[in-house]
Amino acid sequence: MAPPKQPSWYTTALEAVHGTNLTGKTSLVTGGNSGIGVETVKALATSGSRVVLTSRSVEAGVKVAEQLKAEGVKGQIKVMQLDLADLASVNKFSKAYKAEECGPDLLILNAGVMACPQTYTKDGFEMQIGTNHFGHFALTKELLPSMKALGTPARIVVVSSMAHEMGAIDLQDLHYRHRAYSSWGAYGQSKLANILFAKQLAKDLEGTNIKAYSLHPGIINTPLTKHVYGGGYLGAAVKTAVGIIGYPWLKSPAQGAATSITAAVSPDLESHSGVYLHDSQIKKPARAAEDMDMAAELWKETERQLADAEKKLSS
């Protein structure tokens, strides 16, 4: 397959990984059982990486691994259970991962939940920032030492969204306990947190072999929209209509995964740790996503709240 000259909206994950040899590398993809996660796993495994596919449901993850094998994907895919909305699960997963695997060389923080009703994680975090930010933050902190121990180049890729543009971080009320809940506001806040996390990571890891990036994957028709359509007759009717009419302006999951793959493997990005990407190109995010004072404050507050949650877990 000939690689595209210039990455674009149309580039697929397989095109983005073309010419990259990841033999001997280990990649970890959260939410690898669905949507763009599947295509991310596929591209990484195709280029020779051993891939740890994490999934809330092992059954769903195994189904995807078997389907990719049946399609002829040669790389090894191992499925491990991980629920990012449960700190005990993050801890259990991290312990098992570190006992059995090294690195990873590529950590793809892909899993996410969007615009759900007001609900809370097992540790009492608002579901969207709890899953999309706190869960990934805790996981990264657990895996960073073994990534550093590799002593070879490694990358952390945080899948954010253009929805960060409608988000604002409220450090005093990250979990909507004192303000009216907005499902899109909470999604925007969590996706803004994703970019600030990647930028702070990149800053803290300056001078090391580990680089961090964030990105918007495009607009893709995946199960992510399940809370948008709703569960009733109206939601089902809208979904059916969309299925019939189609969405020509939407990316396919294979196109949606291309920017994650570019962030994970492109040599052009090596000296640009911390950047935000869109359609595999560096893009300036919203001003709030470049506020490094807020990035540092959010980091401190996340650490503080996670430490409190850990204390509760062990008491």
Residues that bind ligand NAP (CB under 6 A): 30-31, 33-37, 56-57, 60, 82-85, 110-114, 131, 159, 161, 216-217, 219-220, 222-224
- Cα–Cα distance for residue pair 57/59, rounded to 1 Å: 5
CA–CA distance, 185 with 179 (Å, rounded to integer):
11
Task: Please identify which residue in the block is written with the tokens 């259970």.
Answer: 81
Choice between 162 and 265, CB closer to ligand NAP:
162
Of 103 and 135, the one with the shorter C-beta distance to ligand NAP is 135
- The active-site residue out of 97, 181, 233, 247 is 181
Residue 108 or 205 having the CB closest to ligand NAP: 108
What are the tokens at 219? Answer: 């607009």
Q: Which residue is nearest to ligand NAP (CB)?
A: 35
- 99-119 burial, b at 16+ Cβ within 10 Å, e below that, comes to eebebbbbbbbbbbbbbbeee
Between the alpha carbon of residue 205 and those of residues 102, 150, 265, the distances in Å are 19, 14, 18
For the question of residue 176 being annotated catalytic, the response is no
Least distance in angstroms from the C-beta of 289 to ligand NAP = 14
CA–CA–CA angle 61, 35, 91 (5° rounding): 50
Pairing of β 281-283 and β 276-278: antiparallel
Can you tell me which residue has the tokens 């595209």?
Answer: 4
- Of residues 77 and 114, the one with the C-beta less far from ligand NAP: 114
Least distance to ligand NAP from the beta carbon of 21, Å?
26
At closest approach, how far in Å is the CB of 185 from ligand NAP?
15
CB of 149 to ligand NAP, least distance (A): 25
Q: Which two tokens stand for residue 303?
A: 């650490």
Q: So which residues are the catalytic ones?
A: 181
